Chains A and B, each alone.
Chain A
């Protein structure tokens, strides 16, 4: 059974750095063409894609947040870590990680098939 679990602080102060960990089970982060994505959702708002990392260590970041994000993985620990610097109250959201798999079709055909339950982060002094 594939599961993903997000963990990290519930509360961070403005200007601090947020570190979130996604611990996966039921699959390996070294599986070919498999990856993990991070997505967030502010209260009452839409989903926002943040970043992904694949088994070959290929990484991509949201253009608007690229300067603040770093994604990495530790295959031996089955963990993917996302750090976000200079946190602001507008970054208050539920943060999800999701397994990312290749589908089929033209162009970019990856999709997020299994999601974690999410972890809620509040940014406040």
Chain B
């Protein structure tokens, strides 16, 4: 059971906007920043969003992140077939004094 809660799956058609939620608590998302990672099949995770809403260079602006209270969201607009991947949220947990990940959301592009 992951400390951060994500829906196991999400889907959308090309061009649609999809959001993936990440729910935590006051000791993790409520106190610290949230990062998002994309993992394409058979590859290592890749940083998608850091510090709640910052995009690393090279990440398309179709990807955006937000945080409110003890929850965070990743939004993908203009969905493309190459966005089909697993997405993970992550944060630091002050109570555990360690990093925590969500259980991952498998995004399917229909």
Binding site for B on A (CB under 8 A): 37, 39, 46-49, 52, 60-63, 96, 98, 103-118
Check if A46 sits within 8 Å of B100, measured CB to CB. no
Contact residues on B (Cβ < 8 Å of other chain), bracket: 20 to 34
Identify the interface centre among A63, A111, A113: most chain B CB within 10 Å of its CB: A111
How many cross-chain pairs have Cβ atoms below 8 Å apart between A and B?
89
Check if A111 sits within 8 Å of B104, measured CB to CB. no
Check if B104 sits within 8 Å of A47, measured CB to CB. yes
The 4 closest A-B CB pairs, nearest first, are: A49-B99, A108-B92, A103-B51, A107-B32
Check if B35 sits within 8 Å of A106, measured CB to CB. no
Is B63 close to A, CB under 8 A? Answer: no
Check if A60 sits within 8 Å of B45, measured CB to CB. no
Check if A105 sits within 8 Å of B44, measured CB to CB. no
Residues in chain B near residue A110, CB distance under 8 A? 92
Check if B98 sits within 8 Å of A61, measured CB to CB. yes
